[in-house]
Structure 1
Amino acid sequence: MTARMTDRYPTVTQVTASARRLVSRHPGTCRLRRIGRSRAGRPILMLSVGHGPHHVLVVAGPHPDEPVGGATALVLAEQLARGARLSAATDPTLVTWDIVLCLDPDGAAVSEAGTAEATATPTRTPTLRHYYRTTYRPMAAEQPEWAPIISRQLPESRALFEVIDDLRPFLQCSLHSTDVGGSWLQLTRDLPELAAPFRTSAAELGIPLQHGTYDALYWENPSPAVYVLPPPDSTARLAAGSENIGASTWCAPLRYGGVTAIVEVPMWASDLAEDLTPYPDADDALRDLADLVLDGGRQVTAVLEKARSFLPPPQHDPLRRVVEWMGDGLYDMVANSWAPLARQAAAASADDDPRRLTTAQIAALNIVARRQPIRAAGLLLRLLRASDDRAAPVLYRELDELFTAWCTDTEEALRARWVPVDDQVEHQARTVLAGAESALKSLR
């Protein structure tokens, strides 16, 4: 499906330039328009392909530390513009594809600045150390898809809500990636016919499926690595912090009969993600993982305490806001959310007891436990590196030693292997197309 590319993600500027070239080559088929502006005034652009009465909405760049979506958006747009009719969903007289090129351009700018300013260049095979040292993920209140659930109204969120209300898409696809693990789908309504092509694509590309994920611990799991959101007014099967998920942009198409698919693909694969063998002493493992995230968080926060006096204030610096937010209860929330699972695992008896946790489920929580302090440390290292205070270099070396050891341990513990960008994009694009075909059938 895809043309081979270098093993790098395109920047927002590159994605936008490619979209403009596509419009110039296919002026009767493609249109590019601004649907809103970010908090900093950057344009939020949407590329539309086709003229059909039914709409698929694709959202790239919802999280700036998940850069695969821009590349996937371009691959989808180019294929659709060429008129390759693989199915009814790619018929431009039946379906219009509306592709938001980057939902969070402000966050992308902060993340891309970290990559540009890094002293070390990535090796031929990218490493977690370089990734976490350069990327940026906003606090929840500044994530456009997520902010509405905590009653924060961002201009980026409003722009997406307005597009959904205008287009009434039968399918919204949000393009995400995860740092380490496998691929999975989160759906607001089950699409049974999507499971097989999703599974087949992953197998052909050597990408494991994520059997068990922190994001959807208690959701329905109708097929491997497919998780269906509980009803928006339910709180029975939601992870901590997501109780008001019905207010998110994910759920907005529901009021028009549409469905949302969150398509996750790993940057680094871990085959542990699909190991369904029962995990021995899972309750002890969960307590160890809780200690891991709490201990790591405390160590990062200790460095932050020493640096607070000379770092830029949180209201003026997005990196500082995230590090403060993580230290102000996030580590505890993550660790405490596993207590019910630990009790469940302790009560399990036989291997076929449904309360028994698998190696894949423990691996998913292992990823989260390690990710949180590493992510905070990477952001704090950027702040320390930019400071001219005399204490900054000493604190930088202290934290960098921890950070490097944590990244190395994570790669080894999870047996992480890099997934080429082409394969990440191929799998995500195939899944989106299969999802569109599956969702379209409900309209016929």
Structure 2
Amino acid sequence: MRTSLYPAVDELERRARALVRAAPGLLRLGQVGESRAGRPLWLLSAGHGDRHILSVAGAHANEPVGGASALRLAALFARRPGLLEPLGCTWHFLLCLDPDGAHLAHGWQPEEPEPSLTGCHRYFYRPAFARQPESLPMAPGKPLPESAALVRLLDELRPVAQFTLHGIEFGGAFVMMTREVPGAADAFRETAARLRVPVDRHPVDGPDWRLDPPGVLVLPDGHGEGERDPSGFVAESTWFHPRRHGTLTTLIETPAWAVPSVSDARPVTDPDREIARLGEVLLGRSRELAAVLGTRLDAAVPEDLAPLRDAARELLDVAPSIVASWAAEAPGRFHGHFATRGISARRIPLRVAAMASRALARTDPRAAEILDDLVREWSRELEKTYDLRWVPVAVQTGLHVRAMLTTARLVCGGS
């Protein structure tokens, strides 16, 4: 029997309640809000310290590893409550910030015994930027209910640290920190090395952040007003909101499929030509998608599939601006820099094809079939070009857990 490697969104509550029953004096579960569709937002809490730490999982629908990591660390506290005592804190886990998106992406669940990149992308969903609850609209926009619930929680807890648990489909590990913590960057790199997870030398995320290579991005002093997303959108963020309380926010990214070349420090002889070549990969595949789709994404689709259509259309529309942003960067000098951007150049059209195929499956099955063929073709090309290696879920969650514990000890002064 094939079994999912990550807990589905509905399993998170059930597993959390089982942990609470096993450690009733230490763990407790409560609801802290509702999603747009009325699904509960669950907060699992461990310990009774005066200070608070918050871990946020499931911010993006295609990243179910965060929930698995949250449950793993909570289970560790249940078995070894002494781990919390030196920190003097209560540790909270928001088990899934976007349960609606997670339901729509439920098929994005690699299965045993051999996860399939093609199979996962047949169920892929990542919301359009405005529907991602870690983002906050620029004033006077109204935040999503999930975003508002997280902001309320941050203002209530005033945590010393907030960890946001992310997982990329393929690439390398990296972290983003809203301030520098002495020792944290080296500790993260050492953890990744022990777990044999490649570290991304120069992530495409956080284009306005300061790079501490390899694999660490730090928010420059005074930055945060109108953070720019790599897709070209501007918003405030729940990463920045708790800085008013002195909170350190650390985003931890772990890959499902590792790409060793993102760590490659060898110099590139002609970086301008290389970035132009990668830009043409993205633009060429975008043109191929546009030829298949025509005006099909402008036609009516079933209401439950509209988020897929909107997300696919947005990604297709912003592809030229992404290529322009790469061209405007200071020229990269290492193979790892271009491996990361080459992955992005392939990941964006793959996501568009996957989501557009699902959106059109009921109303235009012929177009959906053509898009499915592209998903299969591009997935195979990715596997061949970048020598993808599946990262066991125990390693993915291990990176999250160890990075959280190490950083928390540095922030809180625990041993």
TM-score, normalising length from structure 2? 0.92
3-state SS of 1:55 partner = strand
5+ residue gaps, structure 2 = none
Corresponding position: 1:135 with 2:132: no
Amino acid at match of 1:417: R
Corresponding position: 1:256 with 2:245: yes
Query: How far, CA to CA, are the matches of 1:160 and 1:143 in structure 2?
Result: 12
Task: Provide the residue aligned with 1:45 in structure 2.
Answer: 42
1:332 to 300, 309, 320: 320
Assess, with a 3 A threshold, how the Cα gap between structure 1 residues 224 and 149 changes in structure 2: closer, same or farther. Answer: farther
Amino acid at match of 1:379: M
1:156 to 141, 146, 157: 146
The answer to whether the 8 Å contact 1:263/1:428 transfers is: yes
Give the deviation of 1:401 after TM superposition.
2.4
Corresponding position: 1:70 with 2:35: no
Q: How many residue pairs are counted as aligned between the two chains?
A: 412
The answer to whether the 8 Å contact 1:149/1:248 transfers is: no
Assess, with a 3 A threshold, how the Cα gap between structure 1 residues 167 and 293 changes in structure 2: closer, same or farther. Answer: same
Give the deviation of 1:75 after TM superposition.
0.7
5+ residue gaps, structure 1 = 1-5, 346-355
Amino acid at match of 1:48: S
Deviation larger for 17-26 or 161-170: 17-26
Corresponding position: 1:99 with 2:87: no
Give the deviation of 1:398 after TM superposition.
2.2
Assess, with a 3 A threshold, how the Cα gap between structure 1 residues 326 and 238 changes in structure 2: closer, same or farther. Answer: closer
The answer to whether the 8 Å contact 2:231/2:315 transfers is: no
Amino acid at match of 2:285: G
1:15 to 12, 16, 23: 12
Amino acid at match of 1:375: R
Task: Provide the residue aligned with 1:55 in structure 2.
Answer: 52
Amino acid at match of 2:341: L
Deviation larger for 263-272 or 332-341: 332-341
Task: Provide the residue aligned with 1:319 in structure 2.
Answer: 308
Give the deviation of 1:115 after TM superposition.
5.0
Corresponding position: 1:414 with 2:411: no
Task: Provide the residue aligned with 1:426 in structure 2.
Answer: 398
Assess, with a 3 A threshold, how the Cα gap between structure 1 residues 16 and 239 changes in structure 2: closer, same or farther. Answer: closer
3-state SS of 1:136 partner = coil
3-state SS of 2:276 partner = helix
Amino acid at match of 1:312: V
Which residues of 2 match residues 361-372 of structure 1 at below 5 A?
361-372=337-348
Give the deviation of 1:414 after TM superposition.
1.5
Amino acid at match of 2:10: T
Amino acid at match of 2:90: T
Corresponding position: 1:207 with 2:201: no
Deviation larger for 255-264 or 375-384: 375-384
Which residues of 2 match residues 170-209 of structure 1 at below 5 A?
170-209=160-199
Give the deviation of 1:105 after TM superposition.
0.3
Query: How far, CA to CA, are the matches of 1:149 and 1:26 in structure 2?
Result: 42
Corresponding position: 1:275 with 2:259: no
Query: How far, CA to CA, are the matches of 2:347 and 2:138 in structure 1?
Result: 23
Query: How far, CA to CA, are the matches of 1:357 and 1:239 in structure 2?
Result: 23
Query: How far, CA to CA, are the matches of 2:226 and 2:315 in structure 1?
Result: 25
Give per-residue Cα distances to partners, 1:128-187, cap 9 Å, x unaligned.
212221121000000000243584510000000000000000000000011111111000
Query: How far, CA to CA, are the matches of 1:334 and 1:394 in structure 2?
Result: 30
Query: How far, CA to CA, are the matches of 1:236 and 1:381 in structure 2?
Result: 33
3-state SS of 1:126 partner = coil
Give the deviation of 1:238 after TM superposition.
5.7
3-state SS of 1:370 partner = helix
Query: How far, CA to CA, are the matches of 2:360 and 2:111 in structure 1?
Result: 21
The answer to whether the 8 Å contact 1:232/1:244 transfers is: no
TM-score, normalising length from structure 1? 0.86
Query: How far, CA to CA, are the matches of 2:345 and 2:108 in structure 1?
Result: 24
Q: Give me the identity figure in percent.
A: 37
- RMSD value, Cα: 2.5
Query: How far, CA to CA, are the matches of 2:29 and 2:89 in structure 1?
Result: 17
3-state SS of 1:52 partner = coil
Larger fraction in helix? 1
1:29 to 18, 26, 31: 26
Assess, with a 3 A threshold, how the Cα gap between structure 1 residues 95 and 234 changes in structure 2: closer, same or farther. Answer: closer
Which residues of 2 match residues 285-364 of structure 1 at below 5 A?
285-305=274-294, 307-308=296-297, 311-312=300-301, 317-327=306-316, 329-341=317-329, 344-345=330-331, 356-364=332-340
Query: How far, CA to CA, are the matches of 1:219 and 1:437 in structure 2?
Result: 24
2:365 to 393, 397, 405: 393
Query: How far, CA to CA, are the matches of 1:439 and 1:148 in structure 2?
Result: 30
Assess, with a 3 A threshold, how the Cα gap between structure 1 residues 152 and 212 changes in structure 2: closer, same or farther. Answer: farther
3-state SS of 1:73 partner = helix
